[in-house]
Copies of this chain bind each other. A is one copy, B any other.
Amino acid sequence: MSEASTNHRRHQLILMPSGRRGDVAHADTLLDAARQLGVELESICGGRQTCGKCLVAPEFGQFPKHHITSAPEHLSPPDADEQIYAEKHGLDLSRERLACAVHLLGDALLHIPESSLARKQVVRKEAGDLAIDLKPAVQMVYVAVPPAELGGRGDWPRLKAALAEQWNLPDLTIDPHLLPHIQTTLRETNGAVTATIWHNREVIRLEPGYAESLYGLAIDIGSTTLAGHLCDLRTGAVIATETMMNPQVRYGEDLISRISYATEPQGMSRMHHAIVRAINDLSKNAAEAAGIAPHEITDMVLVGNTVMHHLMLGINPVEIGHLPFALATDDALDLQARDLGFKTIHEGARVHLLPCVAGYVGADNVAVLLAEYPHLDEGITLVVDIGTNAEILLCQGERILSASSPTGPAFEGAQITHGQRAAAGAIERVRIVDGGVRYKVVGDARWNDELNEGESLRPTGICGSGIIEIVAELFTAGLISGHGKFVEDAADRSDRIRLHGRLGEFVLAAADESATGSEIVITQKDIRAIQLAKAALYSGVRLLMDHLGIQAVDRIRLAGAFGSYIDPLYAMRIGLIPDCALDRVTAVGNAAGDGARIALLNVDQRQMIQDLVRRVEYVETAAESNFQEYFVDALLLPHAVDAFPHLDQIGGWE
């Protein structure tokens, strides 16, 4: 480096594929030089040639287009440390070098592999039209702390000073849980430690020597299901996805019954502890599935509807149960995992909760907004996330409207006689042909009449998409009326129908066909449940359309597990969703979970959504006088034929 101070020559450096170029001083390291050109390379070890994150590929030769000649002698030769690293990790130094080890001695052109860029990009979702930078709330830095001296500063002040000097991280605080360990950790490796820093503000983990495990967990707390993505925060990759039942289900299927149970003695405390235990278990299971230790998880993002959000925080949700549906807080929160009772993840781990909107429109809907960005679409976009509650977003230009509708768990297969989740064996497709029935089950591509002699699909039950299809087919076949009742001569027209006075049932699979050895039927009561659920969703959507003053939407995105299985044609046939060109109705998967994951991977997105959420116009369905009217109308099958011109076009409607 002394050479640099006596030599004022500068060299041209070009970085590919970005094409960035500039003059840099003689003898600067490639790491420093790239930084000067605005390209931040990965570096955990801080230039000690141990982490290998800053690999670059020099390209030699004449590059007339770039007016540059790059030659091997323009880069300083490998020193002992770099050679040791290369031998240990099988690196070919003629093709790749450690940017922190190489001094620039002449003009050079380097290729920077994507993996060496400090700000990696991860694709927003599998469908993938948006990409986000990787910028998690926690980062790891390797730092060399000078030894303790007689009369000198203590270990934490020395570590703090080293972090300020070596990483430009001034004014850090330390999580007090680290204080008892700081001396043993520093001594173990002569002061060389890796610190995990939260939000450039606080040291939350300290490990001896060089370490690089950085994991975070994004969890969507649904009323019925918890879904967690465990992510490697250094790559953005999902390394495990775990789901489990919400153990609060035993205290009530839907939000209203949970709220009601919270007013009973011990009710609140039971539900709170159940969800905290479940999150602890989920964290443990996800870590196990990924082959890491749970305490390697240092950051967490949680989303959920407002009732789940409050129960998790130990807040009684009773006020969400009545006007004006007041939330204790709708702000985003940054909390300590240990304050929330999360004990399996790292003791210093942090938890971020996305903001809520109001009433029943919670952080899960905000996460969908973050995952889908529907307000950036051209025209009008409707996003519905159908769970026990349906979360609805309707966007046109700058306006974002949101509501929540209590669909109940029918679409998830609950409260349906032979309902079940969309797992292998569940009937998911149904056709009625001449009074007989055809069906398909999850896990098999064939219809039941396409099997070989002696084979059977052995259905176990019927899932949400199957329920919708059977209702639509019964109506189309004229076996049930617009009011959802079996018509009087239904039993004469199909031998699968049995009527008991005013009630009745349709046999989907006979006892000898099914895996359970019992018939699989759909009853009058099941049809009613679907009518109630679809009416709740449709009237919520309709209300938002009124608020926007529109009669149709340009596209519909169906989020959630149910949204992935449902056939848009049938969803429209029973009037679950408003009219729309069928090819513009798409399933977007677990958007709430994706939104939680995006917030986990990028702190700027957390800030962005906090600002955006305050622009969301909240519509409380229960407080709107039109809602009851729309709801009653929407109970009918179909509730308004002329509202579905696209069905007419494709001939799917009678």
Q: Which of A154, A182, A330, A620 has the most CB of B within 10 A?
A: A154
A-B contact pairs, 27 of them (CB 8 A): A148-B324, A150-B325, A151-B358, A151-B619, A153-B330, A154-B331, A155-B326, A155-B327, A155-B328, A155-B329, A156-B329, A156-B331, A157-B329, A157-B331, A174-B329, A176-B313, A176-B336, A176-B340, A179-B314, A179-B315, A179-B328, A180-B314, A180-B315, A182-B328, A182-B329, A183-B315, A183-B328
Residue of B nearest to A306 (CB): B154
**How many whole Å from A238's CB to the nearest CB in chain B?**
28
B180, A313: Cβ atoms under 8 Å?
A: yes
Interface string of A300-329 (1 = CB under 8 A from B): 000000000000011110010001111111
The answer, among B151, B323, B358, B618, for a CB contact under 8 Å with A359, is B151
C-alpha spacing A315/B156, complex, angstroms: 12
A328, B149: Cβ atoms under 8 Å?
A: no
C-alpha spacing A623/B177, complex, angstroms: 32
B339, A176: Cβ atoms under 8 Å?
A: yes
List residues of A (149-197) whose CB comes within 8 Å of B's CBs: 149-157, 160, 174, 176-177, 179-180, 182-183
B620, A319: Cβ atoms under 8 Å?
A: no
**How many whole Å from A597's CB to the nearest CB in chain B?**
23
A151, B620: Cβ atoms under 8 Å?
A: yes
Q: Please give, as numbers and ranges, the residues of chain B lying within 8 Å of A316 by CB-CB distance.
A: 180, 183
Q: Please give, as numbers and ranges, the residues of chain B lying within 8 Å of A612 by CB-CB distance.
A: none
Interface membership of A356, Cβ < 8 A: yes
Residue of B nearest to A357 (CB): B151
Interface membership of A550, Cβ < 8 A: no
**How many whole Å from A96's CB to the nearest CB in chain B?**
41
C-alpha spacing A329/B183, complex, angstroms: 9
B154, A324: Cβ atoms under 8 Å?
A: no
User: Which size bracket describes the interface of A in this complex?
Assistant: 35 or more
Interface membership of A335, Cβ < 8 A: yes
C-alpha spacing A244/B49, complex, angstroms: 56
B182, A324: Cβ atoms under 8 Å?
A: no
List residues of A (330-358) whose CB comes within 8 Å of B's CBs: 330-331, 333, 335-336, 339-340, 356, 358
C-alpha spacing A535/B302, complex, angstroms: 63
**How many whole Å from A445's CB to the nearest CB in chain B?**
47
Residue of B nearest to A338 (CB): B339
C-alpha spacing A605/B359, complex, angstroms: 46
The answer, among B148, B313, B619, for a CB contact under 8 Å with A326, is B148
Q: Please give, as numbers and ranges, the residues of chain B lying within 8 Å of A157 by CB-CB distance.
A: 329-331
The answer, among B149, B174, B323, B329, for a CB contact under 8 Å with A179, is B329
A324, B358: Cβ atoms under 8 Å?
A: no
Please list the 3 inter-chain residue pairs (A to B) with the smallest Cβ-Cβ separation, ordered nearest first: A148-B326, A154-B327, A156-B329
Residue of B nearest to A157 (CB): B331
Q: Please give, as numbers and ranges, the residues of chain B lying within 8 Å of A333 by CB-CB distance.
A: 176
A154, B326: Cβ atoms under 8 Å?
A: yes
Residue of B nearest to A339 (CB): B176
B618, A151: Cβ atoms under 8 Å?
A: yes
Contacts A179-B315, A180-B313, A180-B316 given; does A154 touch B623 at CB 8 Å: no
C-alpha spacing A328/B319, complex, angstroms: 47
Interface string of A356-378 (1 = CB under 8 A from B): 10110000000000000000000
Residue of B nearest to A155 (CB): B328
Q: Please give, as numbers and ranges, the residues of chain B lying within 8 Å of A183 by CB-CB distance.
A: 315-316, 319, 326, 328
**How many whole Å from A110's CB to the nearest CB in chain B?**
42
Q: Please give, as numbers and ranges, the residues of chain B lying within 8 Å of A359 by CB-CB distance.
A: 150-151
**How many whole Å from A166's CB to the nearest CB in chain B?**
19
Interface string of A590-631 (1 = CB under 8 A from B): 000000000000000000000000000011100100000000
Q: Please give, as numbers and ranges, the residues of chain B lying within 8 Å of A151 by CB-CB distance.
A: 324, 358-359, 618-620
Q: Please give, as numbers and ranges, the residues of chain B lying within 8 Å of A623 by CB-CB distance.
A: 150
Contacts A157-B330, A157-B331, A329-B157 given; does A324 touch B152 at CB 8 Å: yes
C-alpha spacing A314/B623, complex, angstroms: 54
Contacts A314-B180, A315-B179, A339-B177 given; does A149 touch B327 at CB 8 Å: no
**How many whole Å from A335's CB to the nearest CB in chain B?**
5
C-alpha spacing A110/B182, complex, angstroms: 58
Residue of B nearest to A177 (CB): B339
Q: Please give, as numbers and ranges, the residues of chain B lying within 8 Å of A328 by CB-CB distance.
A: 154-156, 179-180, 182-183
Residue of B nearest to A313 (CB): B179
A148, B319: Cβ atoms under 8 Å?
A: yes
C-alpha spacing A331/B171, complex, angstroms: 12
The answer, among B150, B156, B330, for a CB contact under 8 Å with A323, is B150
Q: Please give, as numbers and ranges, the residues of chain B lying within 8 Å of A620 by CB-CB distance.
A: 150-151
C-alpha spacing A468/B151, complex, angstroms: 32
The answer, among B331, B358, B619, for a CB contact under 8 Å with A152, is B358
Q: Please give, as numbers and ranges, the residues of chain B lying within 8 Å of A182 by CB-CB distance.
A: 315, 328-329
**How many whole Å from A43's CB to the nearest CB in chain B?**
28
Q: Please give, as numbers and ranges, the residues of chain B lying within 8 Å of A331 by CB-CB distance.
A: 154, 156-157, 160
A176, B325: Cβ atoms under 8 Å?
A: no
**How many whole Å from A506's CB to the nearest CB in chain B?**
42
Q: Please give, as numbers and ranges, the residues of chain B lying within 8 Å of A156 by CB-CB distance.
A: 328-329, 331
Residue of B nearest to A333 (CB): B176
Q: Please give, as numbers and ranges, the residues of chain B lying within 8 Å of A618 by CB-CB distance.
A: 151
Contacts A148-B319, A324-B148, A324-B149 given; does A329 touch B180 at CB 8 Å: no
C-alpha spacing A325/B155, complex, angstroms: 11
Q: Please give, as numbers and ranges, the residues of chain B lying within 8 Å of A340 by CB-CB distance.
A: 176
Additional 20 contacts, C-beta under 8 A, given A156-B329, A179-B313, A182-B329: A148-B324, A149-B324, A150-B324, A150-B325, A150-B620, A150-B623, A153-B330, A154-B331, A154-B356, A154-B358, A155-B327, A157-B330, A157-B331, A174-B329, A176-B340, A179-B315, A180-B328, A183-B315, A183-B316, A183-B328
